[in-house]
Chains A and B, each alone.
Chain A
């Protein structure tokens, strides 16, 4: 009985949170198209989110690409199909691995930062002070972060893809002894519209997920420092899980539409 009651409470809380997140996201979209635009804040966020994540993304790309290539090259060599390594790398990295890894890395670094910063501002009354001075915190804080994510996450995903493919090339040439020409021509073969479209659509959608969840968690945090910490953890977990689940559904739905372009 106690378990049922706890489950009931959890369900109610989840429904309540989802409803609030939905309305908050709608308000953010509304604020995105409102008149006042904070260019300086947007450029600053682009720098912090994009340039600030560069090292993390480069490291993620290179080691993920190398690890992936290493695992696949072993299997492919057994079948005498090592020349297909470039194709497999291109498909898996551009369609799946690049967007998901970059998304999850952004969830860890950027979403945590956004929630913690906005949460700390809320707990020290800075958000109320903004309202008192006639500033809409949603426009001033949330919208620049959303725009910065929409621009920088796809850009960082492309960088991650390129670095991961280079990582794969290192393994292909040094371990699997595939010639560079063979590897890159196989990669080029799979650089078709469908793969590139899916590979760029996903980060755009993930950027909305990260911006909505992290800003919502920051704006709704309560309970002082401990509350901000809890909101930050929840934000990272929720963003990561949503990205992984969302990735599956995007792959499933989009592939039905663009089969002919793959």
Chain B
């Protein structure tokens, strides 16, 4: 379970998040939405313990990650798989080395054993292992890079929590569909808690049970789809206005095969 309690965070003197509180239960899927620069990605960085809030608690499995030393944080991070914006693949390593990175660094497994697990993971994320395993990240398309990043996060520690930072940004519609379906497949088959940060509302509707909207550092909405449609908060309306057409539900049923129906 993930719980943010009255979190305030600022970079130097610039306030980013103000009094943020929400909970994500085990195996729940939540999408955090909001305009660019509203502090969405910072929430993921706080959950991962990469940043420390000035006030409040960030509890992962009922333990406040902000008050831990690095060693304890590392133990908590083993439960979390993070897919960074643009994948954040190590550009000097091959796809195979990227996906097997955790095993290469933290285990004494021989490369053939790691390679076989990498190949199986590449298959799971929908990539042809023979085709991509020796390639460098630069030689892959954006969608393939995201899938490699998801595979890398999954092969690390068999995480119980998956965090995705803008997983579909900058991808073509076909790649978006592949990535969204993969996120849904993971959520269903591995019953992991999922938090997806995105500002692309059409994709958001296909990936979650619950929606959180962050607007200028404040949490302005937290609830399911039906509640979101009826929300009268002006800040929520302002954010949703450009996407109103995609909120009919037709879009996600037709476009995504793994989406959650409204």
B86 partner residues in chain A, CB cutoff 8 A: 124-125
Would B105 and A135 count as touching, CB distance under 8 A? yes
- Whether B205 is near chain A, meaning CB under 8 Å from some CB there, is no
- Whether B85 is near chain A, meaning CB under 8 Å from some CB there, is yes
Q: What mask results when residues 102 to 138 of chain A are scored 1 for a CB within 8 Å of chain B, else 0?
A: 0000000000000000000000111011011111100
Grouping DSSP codes into helix (H, G, I), strand (E, B) and loop, the A interface class, with mixed when no group exceeds half, is loop
Would B78 and A128 count as touching, CB distance under 8 A? no
Would B91 and A128 count as touching, CB distance under 8 A? no
Closest CB of chain A to B100's CB: distance in Å? 11
B50 partner residues in chain A, CB cutoff 8 A: 128, 131-132
Would A134 and B91 count as touching, CB distance under 8 A? no
Closest CB of chain B to A13's CB: distance in Å? 13
B88 partner residues in chain A, CB cutoff 8 A: 124-126, 128-129
Closest CB of chain B to A17's CB: distance in Å? 14
- Can you list 8 A-B pairs with a CB-CB distance of less than 8 A? A126-B89, A128-B84, A128-B88, A131-B48, A131-B50, A132-B48, A132-B77, A133-B105
Point out residues on B near A: beta carbons under 8 Å.
Answer: 45, 48, 50, 70, 74, 77-78, 80, 82, 84-86, 88-91, 101-102, 105-106, 156
Closest CB of chain B to A170's CB: distance in Å? 41
Would A133 and B91 count as touching, CB distance under 8 A? no
Task: Give the 5 A-B residue pairs with the shortest CB-CB distance, closest first.
Answer: A125-B88, A129-B88, A125-B84, A134-B74, A132-B82
Q: List 17 additional A-B contacts (Cβ < 8 Å) besides A132-B48, A134-B74.
A: A124-B88, A124-B91, A125-B84, A125-B85, A125-B86, A125-B88, A128-B84, A129-B89, A131-B48, A131-B50, A132-B50, A132-B80, A132-B84, A133-B77, A133-B101, A133-B102, A136-B70
Alpha-carbon gap, A125 to B156, bound state (A): 17
Alpha-carbon gap, A25 to B70, bound state (A): 19
B85 partner residues in chain A, CB cutoff 8 A: 125
Total A-B pairs, Cβ < 8 A = 43
Max chain B CB contacts within 10 Å: which of A124, A131, A134? Answer: A134
Closest CB of chain B to A38's CB: distance in Å? 10
Max chain A CB contacts within 10 Å: which of B78, B82, B156? Answer: B82
Q: What mask results when residues 149 to 186 of chain A are scored 1 for a CB within 8 Å of chain B, else 0?
A: 00000000000000000000000000000000000000
A125 partner residues in chain B, CB cutoff 8 A: 84-86, 88
Alpha-carbon gap, A125 to B77, bound state (A): 16
Closest CB of chain A to B145's CB: distance in Å? 11
Alpha-carbon gap, A124 to B90, bound state (A): 9
Would B82 and A129 count as touching, CB distance under 8 A? yes
Q: What mask results when residues 39 to 79 of chain A are scored 1 for a CB within 8 Å of chain B, else 0?
A: 00000000000000000000000000000000000000000
Closest CB of chain A to B58's CB: distance in Å? 15
Max chain B CB contacts within 10 Å: which of A128, A133, A134? Answer: A133
Alpha-carbon gap, A99 to B13, bound state (A): 44
CB-nearest residue of chain B to A125: B88
Alpha-carbon gap, A77 to B128, bound state (A): 75
CB-nearest residue of chain A to B93: A126
CB-nearest residue of chain A to B149: A129
CB-nearest residue of chain B to A131: B50
Alpha-carbon gap, A168 to B63, bound state (A): 68
CB-nearest residue of chain B to A128: B50
B90 partner residues in chain A, CB cutoff 8 A: 126, 129
Would A126 and B105 count as touching, CB distance under 8 A? no
A124 partner residues in chain B, CB cutoff 8 A: 86, 88, 91
Would A134 and B80 count as touching, CB distance under 8 A? no
B77 partner residues in chain A, CB cutoff 8 A: 131-134
Alpha-carbon gap, A214 to B90, bound state (A): 20
Would B84 and A129 count as touching, CB distance under 8 A? yes
